Amino acid sequence: MIENFKTLKYFFIEHKWAYILGVVWLIFVDLLQLLLPEILRRFTDDLQANVLGSQEIFRYGLYVLIIGFLLAFFRFLWRIYIIGTSKKLEFELRNKLFSHLLTLSTNYFNKSKTGDLMAHATNDINAVRAALGPGIVMIIDAIFITIIATTMMFLTTDVRLTFLALLPLPFLAFSALRFGKTINQRFRMVQESFSSLTETVQENLSGIRVVKTFVQEEPEIQKFAEKNQNVFNKQMHLIRIFGLFQPLIFFISSLSYLIVIVYGGSLVINRHISLGDFIAFSTYLALLIWPMMAAGWVVNMLQRGSASMARINTILSQEPEIIDGEDAVELPEIRGDVRFDNVSFKFPDSQEYALKNVNLEIPSGSTLGVIGRTGSGKSTVASLLLHLFETNEGTITIDDKPIETIKIRSLRDHIGYVDQDSFLFSTTIAKNIAFGVDEASEDEIRRVAKIAQVHENIVDFPKGYETFVGERGVTLSGGQKQRISIARALIKNPQILILDDSLSAVDTDTEEKILHHLSAEMKDKTSIVIAHRISTIKDCDNIVVIDEGEVIEEGTHEELINRRGLYTRLYEKQLLEEEISGEE
């Protein structure tokens, strides 16, 4: 269990004094609580002996008032130092986990569910905080109060009464431990079912247009109802054990009180102990009930915290698949000469090659068009150039330097990339465009928006560039999202620009205007345009046709048309589709 928390050793060392002072204040609170039975003992004995006057009553009342004030003060201190420090741990651990996730390679997220990662960042971190905050408090309370209260009961009252009264309490601790394990298991089942429910909600809200387009509201509502019913069933399963646990705890603790009342009462009647001893003893016993219950709870809290920390450690131990080599260097400037030399690649856990013996040469200042059927490997070219994956064979170079020898951050800083998804963040249009740069002036944002042919659309919105777009840009059309994504890539002023099927949602007239402005913007720079439509790439300096991972044709638009190969068939098919749509 302790092994799992070793990852946090640095935090404990850094905040050791906060924990130490918190424990000191907590012990002060426990000591003050243990003074109250002695005050009650003396007050009751003086009352029984009829020696109390108004001055003595005032003095005892003042003692209780002072102790109450000190209890409140020291409770405030230990909460600030222990609970406050555990909140700092939660804050730092969540930052550390999020920062680490962003360092991992894209392939990790292909294999991991978003819902699971969200659960680690919320539920698991909360469990760790609870173990190292309230858990520590419960441990100190349980140990200190048990030792001192039991000692006082043996020393100040009757030994036999103490022994008999304490007999049921180990059963209390045992019951709390056993029930705690069951509760912990059922609580995990609740969390898992809730995670599944959350994932269903996330998918439906993200894909609401698809749900509505395919008229799947009712089936999705039914699916949600089933998941929700599962959460309810698991919660009721948990509540039933809670419903049995609480009465059992009260029953076992009441046995101790029954022994005190019957046997302790007889000792008072027979004058073996005083009434003050009886009341003080009962107060000590009341203080012991909580530590006995806490003994079971704290073990399960630590187990849950340890299990959660183990899951977090699993993520933190993940190493990014793509890292800077030892000899990797920064490139302040590049010309943009790109070369693929016999590059072959297959995705992890796949036996099929996505690219096979690909050779490409893209001089700086030129434009390469990449076309092919769906799944042919076109986007893989962009992924490899961005060094999102390692090639299995062959070499990719920029300015005659293998990309493995260039620091990843430096490499990607020089590349502007617009992917097929056109992902936008839930913020303003201006901030989405300026996402890739530290600072961007309003004039620069407007300039790139004009190049991307989206400026006029933006200024038509009531708030213009300050328009807030919904999650993933849901409030915008597909074409608007694509053009804003292009503007976001251009504002980096990249030496290499990759457009990965990022004009598919715009009409041909707008596409022609964008490409015209891009040709002027990217003069003396390198452009790679990946597309399904031949109209998008027909004016490129060089065009390659990829099929089943291989470059099967290469040349200019006219040269490829004359070869009567796959490019020609794609061209003729698209012409036919345009004619049919025009007639309609």
Domain final residue pick, 265, 285, 316: 316
345 and 309 share one domain: no
How far apart, in whole angstroms, are the C-alpha atoms of residue 421 and residue 418?
8
> Does the pLDDT at position 294 exceed 70?
no
Q: What is the CATH number of the domain that holds 260?
A: 1.20.1560.10
The three-point CA angle 424-430-435 to 5° equals 55
Report pLDDT for 293: 66
From 265, 288, 316, give the residue that closes a domain: 316
User: Is 495 contained in some domain?
Assistant: no
Of 162-171, 186-195, 302-311, 496-505, which gets the smallest average pLDDT? 186-195
Cβ–Cβ < 8 Å for 432, 511: no
- The residue segments making up the domain with residue 167 are 90-316
| pTM recorded for the entire structure | 0.74
* Residue 407 identity (one-letter amino acid): K
Six token digits for residue 342 = 């016999």
Per-residue model confidence as pLDDT tens digits over 252-292: 778 888 888 888 888 888 888 888 888 888 888 888 777 76
Residues 252 and 367 in one domain: no
Phi, psi of 324 (to 5 degrees): -70, 135
Say whether both 261 and 310 belong to one domain: yes
Residue 81 lies in a domain: no
Residues 265 and 404 in one domain: no
Domain annotation covers residue 506: no
Based on the domain organization, do 348 and 408 belong to the same domain?
Answer: yes
- Give the CATH number of the domain where residue 406 resides: 3.40.50.300
Angle at 566 between CA 561 and CA 567, to 5 degrees: 40
Residue 32 lies in a domain: no
> Per residue in 489-513, is it b (16+ CB within 10 Å) or e — as a string?
bbbbebbbbbbbbbbbbbeeebbbe
Any idea what DSSP says for residue 506? S
**Residue 338 and residue 251 share a domain:** no
Residue 310 lies in a domain: yes
Type and span of the H or E element at 339:
strand 338-345
- Is 41 contained in some domain? no
Q: 149 and 94 in one domain?
A: yes
Same domain, 99 and 190: yes
Are 306 and 339 found together in one domain? no
Do residues 292 and 374 both lie within one domain? Answer: no
Pair (364, 216) in one structural domain: no
* Residues 295 and 179 occupy one common structural domain: yes
For residue 132, is it within any domain? yes
Which of 316, 345, 367 marks a domain boundary? 316
In-domain check, residue 176 = yes
Q: What is the pLDDT of residue 30?
A: 84
**Considering its fold, how many domains does the chain have in total?**
2
pLDDT at 479: 82
Quick check: 583 pLDDT over 60?
no
* Model confidence at 579: pLDDT above 70: no
User: Is the confidence at residue 411, as pLDDT, over 80?
Assistant: yes
Which of 6-15, 46-55, 418-427 has the weakest average pLDDT? Answer: 46-55
